[in-house]
Amino acid sequence: MKKILNIICLAVIVFSTQAQDVHFSQYYASPLNENPANAGFFDGKFRIGGNYRGQWQSVTVPFITSSAYFDMKATPEFVNKNEWIGIGVMAYNDQAGDGQLRNQKVLLDISYHKSLDGYDKTFLSMGFSGGMGQKSIKYEELYFGNQWDGLIFDRQMPTGESFPSFSLKYFDMNMGMMASFKPHSRVNYSVGYSMYHLNRPIDSFYGRKYPKRIKHIIHTKATISGSDRILIEPSAMFTWQANARELLIGANVVWRIKDNALYYGLWYRGSGDLSPIAGFVFSNIRVLFNYDINMSKLKSASNGRGGPEVSIVYIVRPGSGNRPSDFGDYKKGKFKCPSFG
């Protein structure tokens, strides 16, 4: 009975938080989902990436989130030296629960990056994104009290419910800004702030009574080169949307092996979850894998199994040489950007 109550509590909490917006433990591996200003801010010509996350498979029907993105740099004639434009596109699909509650979205991103000091040590970035979202649910896959015949739930029985629309579409707008600094040849860091759903779109099946709340994100990241082989990448992100709050903090250690690298790290979520991570860089491809370990009050229901997550990023670079998580040159003006973002 206690386990059943825990599962019910888990469902309530997940729907009250997860329904707010999609999120990844590897938020830094989904840069356009973190901040539109990240579009085009990396060491390379263009970047292609994807993310996959599964949650709560040990408790109920797993929650599955997947996304893909593409972004690139552009240097049109009207921009000055040490300036460039970022252009990107991101799409994601989020599916949850027995009713297959599905959120899908496609966003176009544009950003502007400028060196403030002329020495490529201080950059200011601003970005905007907009696109269409769709939300749907399959009511026929849900169970209702009127369908209980005393032994089982019989979906052939009438539900006794009156349902609103099962699908809706909406337009979404977002913006963000970021400042990046390189105070030392072995240290760089960035601080950013972004706002999602600026236009308060209606994504509720019950109409205009429930406009989507604005999501705020504050994030920071640093790259510290302890030696020619070892890099340390501490990072943190705090996000809030309506009454939902989330803190993620941790660090990855990057061990360079010639033009490749190995990744190891440990991350902590404010709810009490831990997320160890491992991965590698081979040529211009980075693959990271983590598994969330549930340490919160829901541990007795989930048996500590939060779920896996994997990310992959491929970058095409001009010239030669791979510099995992380093700053490098790009075209005119020696742009200094994080290698994988």
pLDDT, residue 33, reads 95
pLDDT, residue 147, reads 64
- DSSP per position, 13-54: HHHHHGGG----TTGGGSHHHH-GGGTT-SSSSEEEEEEEEE
pLDDT at 267 over 80: yes
pLDDT, residue 333, reads 34
Describe the chain by its helix, strand, coil percentages, rounded to 5: 10, 50, 35
Amino acid at 256: R
- 88 beta partners: 71, 109
- 308 beta partners: 291
Q: Is the distance from CB of 63 to CB of 55 less than 8 angstroms?
A: yes
pLDDT at 239 over 90: yes
| Tens digit of each residue's pLDDT (9 = 90 or more) over 283-340 | 889 999 999 887 655 555 555 556 899 999 999 987 544 444 433 333 333 344 556 5
Q: How confident is the model at residue 141 (pLDDT cuts 50, 70, 90)?
A: low
How buried is 307 (Cβ within 10 angstroms: 0-12 exposed, 13-18 middle, 19+ buried)?
buried
All domains in the chain, ordered by first residue: 2-316 (2.40.160.40)
- Average pLDDT on 191-220 reads 89
Q: How confident is the model at residue 207 (pLDDT cuts 50, 70, 90)?
A: low
Q: Which residue has the tokens 């591996």?
A: 29
CA angle 267, 215, 168 (to 5 degrees): 115
Tokens of 292: 């969330």
Q: Is the distance from CB of 273 to CB of 249 less than 8 angstroms?
A: no
pLDDT, residue 326, reads 37
pTM: 0.81
Tokens of 44: 């390379």
Mean pLDDT (the chain, rounded): 81
330 or 170, greater pLDDT = 170
Contacts of 88 (CB under 8 A, 6+ apart): 32, 39, 40, 69, 70, 71, 72, 108, 109, 110, 111, 129
